[in-house]
Amino acid sequence: MSTLVIVGSQWGDEGKGKITDLLSEEADIIVRYQGGCNAGHTVVIGDKQFIFHLIPSGILHPGKKCLIGSGVVVDPESLLQEMENLRKEGVEIDGRLFLDPKTHIVLPYHKTLDKLKEKKRGKDKLGTTKRGIGPAYLDKIARTGIRMVDLIDEKSLSKKLEINWKEKKEIFNKLYGLKMSNQEKINLIKKYQEYGQLLKKYLMDVSLYLNQAIKEDKKILFEGAQGTLLDVDHGTFPYVTSSHPIAGGACVGTGVGPTKIDKVIGITKAYTTRVGRGPLPTEMQGEMEEYIRQKGREFGATTGRPRRCGWFDAVVVNYAVRINGMDRLALTKIDVLSDLDKIKICTSYKYDGKLIKEFPASLETLQKCIPVYEEMKGWKKDISQVTNYEDLPPQLKVYINRIEELTKAKIVIVSVGPKRSQTIIREKIFK
Ligand code: IMP
């Protein structure tokens, strides 16, 4: 087995950064395939915490190649800043980090539009990260977007920006009453040409490189951002991101065919969280939610917003198992539940007097679904230093077994804290 997709099986923030960092030890190449700097992947090494927005979480492992596939939207300013921060920490970037020339660019007007659109939506806002992700993908699908390859071609950049500028100027003016000056456009072209020159040496055909690496049996990790329920096709639309975090997105966003993917592992938090608006059927209330938020440090890594917290939802994870074709899970943040007397698991929903186990397509239906819970006894023991599965409290194993039973997926990794050392590996992932 040499290719593995890491995917979030809930609404993001499942701990993909930590697991990617951990599995990167054995991998040769780590590649991001979608999203942009809306992501915030946290890795804790010793006393240091690193948050990655665009750069794959494998970068902290010396010598590993880290790639950004064409499915990602890149904000050059944010990328250069992240590279600089890592350099200051002594992390080698050159010769290790590469991005596909086909990646689309997030421009300042995308970020402004993201903010303006959200403001205009008022109480119906989506709760985006305001990083310009939606507007950048919109330009890509509308076939007007600007790509990395355009930044290194002076003529192409000027021509394409001219077209975009005209359109955006009208939108800004007519919809939001804002003016955009000619001088701003000239400055923007100059600035992005400079970014192009700074990033030129990092460009590489990611598809070509990966397919060659697969022939050589190199080990590749595809690092998904966000989560299955935020997928634009399969998530809780419209409260989703504008890309494909699901495993299928790894093929589209890197140019690797589906027959070349060996395995998919779902990163699953022992409870559920989401940032931004939209349904969260098992959402907790009051003190319990605040307790989990504080204990689990459930605040957005990109925006600092408090995350909404809920009990483990087997309907959601089952859906993710199906959509992603995953049969292995990494269960994260289980230590956060250690002091609770009772723990709930949602096994199905009650809708219109009937029990349903399949995640509904309609938000209206979902909003009326009442979670059906099973209540389990807590294990009431500090497990943050346990490194052996056998040494976990029996009651915690009951919880794990029940999740496996409900999702029909094997929990192969149990994460008991943010550090690399706080991980129990039950099965070797790369064989
Ligand atoms: P956008 O991706 O900024 O357009 O935001 C759309 C939705 O996705 C909002 O609910 C965000 O909070 C959510 N979202 C985007 N990125 C992440 C992430 O990395 N983790 C969790 N939620 C995210």
Provide the mean pLDDT of the chain: 96
At residue 185, the pLDDT reads 95
User: How far, in Å, CA of 32 to CA of 34, rounded?
Assistant: 6
- Give first-to-last CA distance, the chain, whole Å: 6
Q: What is the CA(240)–ligand 1 centre distance, in A?
A: 7
Q: Both tokens of residue 14?
A: 């499942």
Q: Is the dihedral of CA 306, 310, 311, 314 positive or negative?
A: negative
Nearest CA residue ID for atom 8, ligand 1: 241
- Per-residue pLDDT tens over the stretch 258-306: 999 999 999 999 999 999 899 999 999 999 999 999 999 999 988 889 9
Question: Does residue 233 have an active-site annotation?
Answer: no
- Per-residue pLDDT tens over the stretch 325-338: 998 999 999 999 99
At residue 231, the pLDDT reads 98
- Per-residue pLDDT tens over the stretch 159-185: 999 999 999 999 999 999 999 999 999
Beta partners for 220? 3, 29
At residue 302, the pLDDT reads 82
Question: Annotation-wise, does 134 bind a ligand?
Answer: no
| Continuous segment of H or E residues that includes residue 263 | strand 263-269
CATH superfamily of 104-201: Adenylosuccinate Synthetase, subunit A, domain 2 (1.10.300.10)
- Per-residue pLDDT tens over the stretch 21-65: 999 999 999 999 999 999 998 898 888 999 999 999 999 999 999
Closest by CA position to 4, among listed 270, 205, 242, 254: 254
At residue 1, the pLDDT reads 67
Backbone angles phi, psi at 322, to 5 degrees: -70, -50
Question: Annotation-wise, does 320 bind a ligand?
Answer: no
Question: Does residue 139 have an active-site annotation?
Answer: no
Question: Residue 389: CB partners within 8 Å, gap ≥ 6?
Answer: 397, 414, 424, 426
At residue 224, the pLDDT reads 97
- Ligand 1, residue 38: give the atom nearest the CA: 16
What pTM did the predictor assign? 0.96
- Ligand 1 neighbours, Cβ below 6 Å, are 12-13, 38-40, 126-129, 131, 133-134, 225-226, 230, 239, 241-242, 275-276
Residue % of the chain over a pLDDT of 90: 94
Residue by residue, DSSP assigns 105-172 as EP-HHHHHHHHHHHHHHGGG-----SSSHHHHHHHHHTT---BHHHHT-HHHHHHHHHHHHHHHHHHH
Q: Left if phi > 0, otherwise alpha if psi is -120 to 50, otherwise beta: which for 325?
A: left
Catalytic-role residue among 140, 160, 185, 344: 140
Which residue's structure tokens are 């397919």? Answer: 211
Q: What is the CA(385)–ligand 1 centre distance, in A?
A: 32
Question: Does residue 140 have an active-site annotation?
Answer: yes
The architecture of the domain spanning 3-90+206-425 is Alpha-Beta Complex (3.90)
At residue 427, the pLDDT reads 93
Q: Both tokens of residue 312?
A: 């483990």
The answer, yes or no, to whether residue 346 has pLDDT greater than 80, is: yes
Helices (H), 243-393: 248-252, 286-295, 314-324, 363-368
Using a 10 angstrom Cβ sphere, with 0-12 exposed, 13-18 middle and 19 or more buried, the burial of residue 420 is middle
Q: Where are the domains of the chain?
A: 3-90+206-425, 104-201
